[in-house]
A and B are shown apart, each in its own frame.
Chain A
Amino acid sequence: MIGRTLHPGTATGRPIRLTTPLSFWGGTDADGRIVDTHHPQCGASLTGRILLMESGRGSSSASSVLAEQIRARTAPAAIVLARPDPIIPLGALVAAELYGLYLPVVVAPYDDIPDGTVLKVDAKPDRAIITW
């Protein structure tokens, strides 16, 4: 599957598909777990997973929280969104500037991605390729 790269990088992991959007700030903790009590998947861990999510939601601080999770190695391995979100890739951009760590953020038709198999995300500046 071809997608659009919002932030480059490569990752491999099992997918986790969120049924509603999530704000990293207020929605996840430092360990990469969903703590938003209103979120249907509250309690799930995102660390190392390929996060499939329609979009981000809510707070501007989500970019800081994601960047900190990238630094602490508790972030998802990659994030695939259904539509562009400016705040999530900002966290990835700053983590790359500060620490040289690249978490790929991609926009792709993620409904077509299967749930039960390992995904590989290869996001180059011109385009992203997701395989399984």
Chain B
Amino acid sequence: MATLELTAEEEGMLSGRDGDGVALAMRVVVGQARILDAPRLVEITSAHVDSCLYHGQVSLDFAHRLVELGARTRVPTTLNVGSTDLVHPQLVRDQQLARAGRELMEAYVDLGCTPTFTCAPYQLPNRPRLGEHIAWAESNAIVFANSVLGARTDRYGDFLDVCAAITGRAPYAGLQTPQARRGTVVFDCRALGEFTELTYPLLGHHIGSVVGVDIPVLVGIPSAVSEDSLKALGAAAASAGGVALFHVVGVTPEAPTDLAGLPVRIVEDLQDVRRELSAPGSQLDAVSIGTPHASYDECVRLAQLLDGPPLKLPFYLSTSRATRDRLGDTLAVLERAGVTVVVDTCTYVTAILQPTWKRVMTNSAKWAHYAPGNIDVDAILGSLTECVASARAGQVVLDA
């Protein structure tokens, strides 16, 4: 086991030189570094905090302890979704949870975090660049930062994220180190033929389900693949498995050019994955998209698809408050068409959908994976076009 070496600055933080809040945060970072066998800590340039989502009294106890002890973030720090929509508070049915959620979100702002409340911080300006050391939590944010941006974050859990923000340090271990970032298994996707929008979440779920601790290298992905498709792929892979980094040959910045010696898995068909993530039958109660948060481009595309006959079913769109603010006339188009825009939170982490709704369609493999356990609905996975067509028809309509 490596011995953890701390700098004089870090020893000072640990011993309480900068206050008890910094010392507590440093104990958590150092504890994590020891678990990970890190030889040292690394300075980070930004943090993304997942801990602002309420998971019970412990969430408030931890944040309040840090506030009481005078802790403040020392690097730019964004916040993940919380347990309520602060812009549309009437959307959340469980007012007790909403109150606790609001209290927690405010505590993190008091610690110096920016109130972004989005699971897609990579859609905000000033995103980290290739090679930057960061401490991001939330599994889809982690996999996107590592894979698509080439920034370096390990898979951090709640609590460590804010402690890294307060100390400006993370353990130098795991995906912070170059040797841990090498691809270890090739997924040859050339036999899949034409890639549709739905191919990406299905492929992500498939890879996450089989990859174990490996780092996948994808071959045969169209070079013009959009960031939104990579987002869908990564989010699905991170929730179906523990994928925190993938490489796409010809697309992502750290993808290897020499694949010799790596084991190869051929991906031929993803129909089984779609069946696994979708309940059978045509009855449908609602549609919910935007997990992770819909990008500006996705919101615009949805608005275009909604130009036509009216929707028969409730339609929810989760996005960030920043993206909503950018939408301008598009927001009006969406709302006129009957879309309920949800910000600051997500429809599968808080009580927004009606409890009588038992079958909900989504374009997100991550939502389809978690919603049955989280909010007790059967999910049906479809493309954005299929989601709109189904909401119009009042029942599940699939292209193929």
Q: A residues touching B (Cβ–Cβ < 8 Å)? A: 6-7, 21, 25-27, 30, 35-38, 55-65, 67-68, 70-72, 83-84, 86-87, 89-91, 93-95, 97-99
Contact = CB atoms under 8 A, between A and B. Distances in A.
A56 B372 CA distance: 20
Interface stretch (B87-95, B153-161, B261-269, B318-326): B153-161
A67 B160 CA distance: 13
B31 A93 contact: yes
A37 B373 contact: yes
B158 A37 contact: no
Contact of A86 (B35, B55, B61, B239): B35
A86 B370 CA distance: 22
B28 A97 contact: yes
Given A26-B370, A95-B58, A98-B65, A59 B239 contact: yes
A90 B239 contact: no
Main secondary structure of the interface of B (DSSP, over half): helix
Interface string B219-241: 00000000000000000001111
B250 interface: no
Interface of B: 24, 27-28, 31-32, 35-36, 50-51, 53, 55-59, 61-62, 65, 137-139, 142, 154-161, 174, 213, 238-242, 369-370, 372-374
A68 B59 CA distance: 8
B373 A84 contact: no
A60 B35 contact: no
A7 to B, nearest CB: 8
A27 B58 contact: no
B373 A58 contact: no
A45 B24 CA distance: 33
Nearest to A35: B373
B349 to A, nearest CB: 9
A58 B372 contact: no
A72 B242 contact: no
Given A37-B373, A63-B160, A86-B35, A30 B56 contact: yes
6 contacts: A27-B373, A61-B50, A62-B158, A64-B59, A68-B55, A97-B24
Contacts of A91: 157-159
Contacts of A64: 51, 53, 55-56, 58-59, 157-159
Contacts of A36: 373
A72 B27 CA distance: 23
Contacts of B55: 25, 61, 64-65, 67-68
A86 B180 CA distance: 15
Contacts of B139: 58-60
A67 B156 CA distance: 15
B159 A26 contact: no
A86 B50 CA distance: 15
A12 B199 CA distance: 47
A38 B236 CA distance: 14
Given A86-B174, A90-B159, A93-B31, A71 B57 contact: yes
A48 to B, nearest CB: 18
Contact of B158 (A56, A61, A98): A61
Contact of A84 (B35, B57, B159): B35
A80 to B, nearest CB: 15
A76 B333 CA distance: 50
A85 to B, nearest CB: 9
A83 B242 CA distance: 13
Contacts of A35: 373
B65 A60 contact: no
A98 B141 CA distance: 28
Contacts of B242: 21, 55-58
B157 A62 contact: yes
Contacts of B138: 60
B158 A60 contact: yes
Contacts of A93: 28, 31-32, 159
A36 B372 CA distance: 8
Contact of B32 (A68, A90, A98): A90
A6 B35 contact: yes
B347 to A, nearest CB: 14
Given A64-B59, A98-B62, 11 more contacts: A26-B370, A27-B373, A55-B213, A57-B242, A60-B155, A64-B55, A68-B56, A71-B57, A86-B155, A90-B157, A93-B28
A26 B374 contact: yes
A56 B158 CA distance: 14
Nearest to A83: B213
Nearest to B51: A64
